[in-house]
Chains A and B, each alone.
Chain A
Amino acid sequence: MRILVADDDNISRKILEAVLAKSGYEVISKKDGQEAFEALKGADSPRIAILDWFMPEMLGIEVCRKVREIESRTPPYIILLTSKDGKQDIVTGLDAGADDYMTKPFEREELKARIKVGERVVKMQQALFKQVQELKESREEAIKALADLKQEVKTREGVENELRESEEKYRNILENIEEGYYEVDLAGNFTFVNNSTCKRLGYPKKELIGMNNRNYMDQETAKSVYQTFNKVYTTGVSSKGFEYEFIRKDGARTTIELSVSLIRDSKGKPVGFRGVSRDISERRKMELELIQARKLESVGQLAAGIAHEINTPTQFVGDNITFLKEATEDIFALQEKQGLLLEAAKTGSVTNEIINAVESALEEADVEYLKEEIPKAVDQSLDGVARVSKIVRAMKEFSHPGANNMTVADINEAIETTITVARNEWKYVAEMKTHFDANLPEVPCLVSEFNQVILNLVINAAHAIKDVVGESGNEMGTITISTARNENWAEVRVGDTGTGIPKQNRDKVFDPFFTTKEVGKGTGQGLAMAYNVIVDKHHGTLSLETEEGTGTTFIIRLPLVADNDGQKK
């Protein structure tokens, strides 16, 4: 350990140097206070200093004070040397920052002992500092660890929030979707329902949870529901598209489409069912409205043609009646003259004047012409009136909103009606030939939808023929419509002499929106609708025979025996 010795007295300093060196210390000697301070100021300064009180340049006590002013992690241990032994001096020295003091002359042993104390203090101080240092470091570590922890907590909170939000989102979706969502246990008791399910069945949620399915359906439905669910249970395969009629709390009935799949626990054991339900009462209603709208639309499209069909006979009936009125006036005038002639003949006073009057009346009336024309005018007028009433009646029958249930109908008559209504659409391009099987029994069908199908086929036939003969060609095509009984089917064939359907289009003709007509002329719905009506609703068949350049025949077959199931599904 190095020790600073500062004394201006050479002898005293030498003694100190010698003593300390002998004790194994490294000694740095300074002759005045200023040098001593310089030596103590540096970073690597001696740890122990022995300063004489009286020194030139700077007193020992002054050096002491100034060293203490310097902030240092390892302040030196300072022993003041003084010749005075006044108490006041000692206090002043200690006050100035000295750690210990000795009076000159000093004893060697005391000096050694006091140095030892100093050494111990310095070491203790160093140890303490090291400890403090260590403590500081560990505190910083602790703080950092705490900060990390806080960050961790924060992150976790974020994840939890996200989780909560996402759960809330899905719950919200589930609660607010139009579709009903449900979970039931294996016995059919609700374990979870969303709002739509509640609304659909008309029960509050708390009443619905735990409720058995038999509470909101009749026995027959319950049986069918059991079969469906049982099948899902045994096969594990999900199912959908079932339609059931449920009974609401208020007793009203509602048609619901259902899907169902199995819920399994973590071990894979089935514990219940879940699925989605959809209210299709509204859809049913809209389907009906759509059919009616389509029908009205086609009546609208036909309206211009129908007006023409009515205006034309009205024209000639009016003309004929005007003619008959004038003819009647002429005949009455003639008759009056002839009456006078008769009177004159009776009294034998026929004059040339009377004869001339009759002759000129005869000429005026042109009786020969009238004889020929009056019966024709009457016949044609009657014919015109019949034509008007026929089309008015057909229109009424055609646009009548048909029953939603199958009724038995004379389809020959129905076809005749449709041909009449659509007359203006085909009469400029085609002749209409009909071969109706008079022995055809009445057919169970949805008449107004059947009419719609025939209308579509007739209009299509007319268009196909127009493509061949042209809008203003002089040739005419032929539309042939026949009916016949074919075992348990009623068969209707609608044939045209039109373009035929090219091979690549044959599979597509019944697809919705498939059309080869130019924009604005066809929506591609006609045959798709026909297919829907004949196949889906009547459980019949709709097929076609076609040859390019020769024409196309559509064949409708309707079952003569009503399919009991026919009205549903």
Chain B
Amino acid sequence: MTQDPIKKSLLFVDDEQNVLQGLRRMLRSERNEWDMEFVGSGDEALAIMKERPFDIIVSDIRMPGMDGVQLLNKVKGLYPSTVRFILSGHADKGMIIRSVGPTHQFLSKPCDSETLKSAVSRAVKLRELFQGEKIIGLVKDTSLPTLPELYQRLYEVLNSPDSSMGDVAEIVSSDVAMTARILQLVNSAFFGIVRHIENITQAVTLLGLETISSIVLTEGVFDKFEEKDVREFKIRELYHHSVVVGAYSARIIKKKLDDHKIAEEAMLAGMTHDMGKLAMVNSKNEAWREVYRRHKSEHIPLYQVEQETLGITHAELGAYLLGLWGLSDNIVEATAFHHEPSRCINQSFGILTAVHLADVFQHRSTPADKGSGMSEPDSEYVTRLGLDDQVQELEELCKDEDD
């Protein structure tokens, strides 16, 4: 079979022939966009993937022989750039949690055609937008490191009989990796939560301590950061930067839009905007480390060195992963364009604006980053939005509240 280079290739795996046939018929209307294969077992899936690459794999969990989690784990290792979805009718929480590691998104049966199509389309779009294939080709392992002390504290709090949801939420929301993963889970269809959740306390409450506990303990979800790997990379500085940018972003939104909900989402966007750096440093990619060293020694903004040398940036990687995990477009957009918001299609005031300014404000107050190009806002963007007069006021507002 010859492959149409423009068509996206999808692989569906399910042991139930009726499900495969139903999907085939239902998705027939997409046949001009998508090149689809339907196979009945993990072994068949691996066999066909050996012949040609697939952009997306959608697998059932419970299957005789190799189950879906085992399959996705193998796919993750062999073909890391393939986007991995679960489509399962199983109501067993334990199995879903087991699958968190290798899975980008969970869809639960019965899944209506619109949900399935839009989830797949979004993944396809993300891959195009952020050069997903290239990114993953470079990074491969995209697991995230957590701060060992935060992980330890969370572990202790979860094991303490008198800890509250509030305690857990507090720890999770000060950790970039945990924040992103918890949001991924809470927004997965499996947990049956219809609204989109962009608030950690709410997410922790909805998932429950038991589920959070299982996720934390599940292998392959969080890595502990190895500091010795890249000496120049200070993970604690990044965490500090993220928390501050989160807080600033929320303040800017509150001031300008006076909307509590958007402010909360902005806080999360600020938290996760540099998540790509974490994935990069954790991937043990030597080329990126070299890039990072150059950025440090020559005082050139990291994204510029990345763009120049690798052709992709940590912002794109972060945006791509957050997008695949089902986080909101606002967060994905803010993460992707936080260096150069003028490149974004959306040119109105919003979370991206807040995160961009917050990022600049934080860099300005960090002596090492002064004059590195990261401490100046995107002037074209600021002017277009008519914010020239307000930047200073907003910066004061952000920093005043620190006292």
Q: Residues on A close to B: CB < 8 A?
A: 303-304, 307-308, 310-320, 322-323, 326, 369, 373, 376-377, 380, 383-384, 428-429, 471-474, 476
Contact = CB atoms under 8 A, between A and B. Distances in A.
A474 B22 contact: no
A318 B112 contact: yes
B51 interface: no
25 contacts: A311-B89, A312-B18, A314-B109, A314-B110, A315-B19, A316-B16, A316-B22, A316-B23, A318-B112, A319-B23, A319-B25, A319-B113, A320-B22, A320-B25, A320-B26, A322-B113, A326-B29, A373-B25, A376-B21, A380-B18, A428-B64, A471-B67, A472-B65, A472-B67, A474-B64
A83 to B, nearest CB: 118
A428 B66 CA distance: 11
Interface in B59-77: 62-67, 70
Nearest to A387: B18
Interface in B69-93: 70, 87, 89-92
B65 A315 contact: no
Contacts of A311: 89-91, 108-110
B385 interface: no
Nearest to B28: A323
Given A308-B89, A318-B112, A474 B19 contact: no
B217 interface: no
Contact of B22 (A308, A310, A323, A326): A323
Contacts of B129: none
Nearest to A303: B91
B111 interface: yes
A315 B111 contact: yes
B21 A312 contact: no
A473 B112 CA distance: 32
Given A322-B113, A326-B29, A428-B62, A315 B90 contact: no
Residue among A308, A429, A473 facing the most chain B CB atoms (10 A cut-off): A308
Interface residues of B, number: 29
Closest 9 CB pairs of A and B: A311-B89, A316-B22, A319-B22, A323-B25, A319-B26, A314-B110, A307-B91, A315-B109, A311-B109
B26 A323 contact: yes
A543 to B, nearest CB: 32
A307 B23 CA distance: 20
B380 to A, nearest CB: 46
Contacts of B67: 471-472
A307 B22 contact: no
B25 A312 contact: no
Nearest to B16: A312
A316 B16 CA distance: 9
B91 A308 contact: yes
Nearest to B43: A474
B22 A380 contact: yes
Contacts of A471: 67
B89 A307 contact: yes
Contacts of B26: 318-320, 322-323
Nearest to A317: B22
Nearest to A306: B91
Contact of B90 (A304, A314, A473): A304
Interface in B222-273: none
Interface in B4-27: 16, 18-19, 21-23, 25-26
Contacts of B109: 311-312, 314-315
- Output the residue of A314, A373, A429, A472 with the most chain B CB within 10 A: A472
Contacts of A380: 18, 21-22
Nearest to A323: B25
A318 B110 contact: yes
Nearest to B117: A322
Contacts of A476: 64
Contacts of B16: 312, 316
B112 to A, nearest CB: 6
Contacts of B91: 303-304, 307-308, 311
Nearest to A310: B89
A316 B18 contact: yes
B18 A313 contact: yes
A205 B66 CA distance: 73
A272 B70 CA distance: 76
B71 to A, nearest CB: 10
B110 A308 contact: no
Nearest to B61: A308
Contacts of A303: 91
Nearest to B110: A314
